[in-house]
Amino acid sequence: MRRLIECVPNISEGRRPEVVEQVVSAIRDVPGIYMLDVETDADHNRAVLTFCGEPEPVLEAAFQTVKMAAQLIDLHQHRGQHPRIGAADVVPLVPLSGVTMEECVPLARQLGRRIGAELQIPVYLYSEAATRPERRNLADIRRGEFESLEAEIATNPARQPDFGPSRVTGAGATAVGVRLPLIAFNVNLATDDVSIAKAIARTVRESSGGLPYVKAIGLPIADRNIVQVSLNMTNYRETPLFQAFEAIKVAAAKYGVTILESEIVGLVPGEALVQVAKHYLQLERFDPRQVLENRLQEALGDN
């Protein structure tokens, strides 16, 4: 079995396609890398890049992502709806096949050490790679965003990075971690009242007593005059997409608001969509091997 790791860097640029393309080109230039997806969002002012490969090329492509983003993006000039601390804001490693979560942890730390030493960018290790329990949750690292980090990193011991200097430039800092596949799932509401979206986010997210493995924030989508509940589903097997969708639907109804649409940002495991199909279609005795592409992959193997 091939040793494959997925990497999903989020960079703080979603409005200048030429900048995103330069970062993507730096990734594509690394031999052995498979570029899977590029998703940009102008409101969030953010791009989600997805690539995979063997561990060594993945680490090199991840490093080049951070290097290029740092050269092209200045957070002193950046504004967007999504929280961020860095030009290359977050760089997670996701084990796909032939490699375990535990084996990815030293790889993440190796990457973080190199970013800190060669690029002089502060690095915070999070999730499974975290060296401190209070840094497992990415939201805790990003609290206050770049502006707060810039003001506190030199004087607040809690802000000391795992690698790199205790100072930031316009490139900010980078969070490097190891995690399960994450689904970025947005639900748009038929209202322009952002307080409703924020209230619903508080209702459904785990940190406020809502659904396990769900992170959520409420955001305005100004150009469409609507609002959004933006979710990160960190364990879709324990809390599936349909459960989060229904929870938002019920909460929105209490405010007399309906759901306009939902969207998935980046890639999604097929299993997560099968869960949704089984729930809403009430499929009986459905086996994921009935999905044509799954059976083809099984038959063709590594080919």
Q: Are the beta carbons of 33 and 117 closer than 8 angstroms?
A: no
Average pLDDT of the residues in 24-33: 98
> Strand, helix or coil at 77?
coil
- Say how far apart CA 245 and CA 18 lie, in whole Å: 34
Distance CA(124)–CA(150), nearest Å, equals 14
Number of helices (H), then strands (E), belonging to the chain: the values are: 9, 11
Who wins on pLDDT, 204 or 299?
A: 204
- For position 293, what pLDDT does the model report? 85
Taking only the tens place, the pLDDT of each residue in 134-163 is 999 999 999 999 999 999 999 999 999 999
Please write the tens of the pLDDT for every residue from 169-185: 999 999 999 999 999 99
C-alpha to C-alpha distance for 190 and 297, rounded to whole angstroms: 40
Tell me if residue 82 is catalytic: yes
Q: Mean pLDDT over all residues of the chain?
A: 96
Active-site entry in 44, 78, 82, 279: 82
- Give tens-digit pLDDT for 64-114: 999 999 999 999 999 998 999 999 999 999 999 999 999 999 999 999 999
pLDDT at 302 over 80: no
CA-wise closest residue to 274 among 291, 251, 249: 291
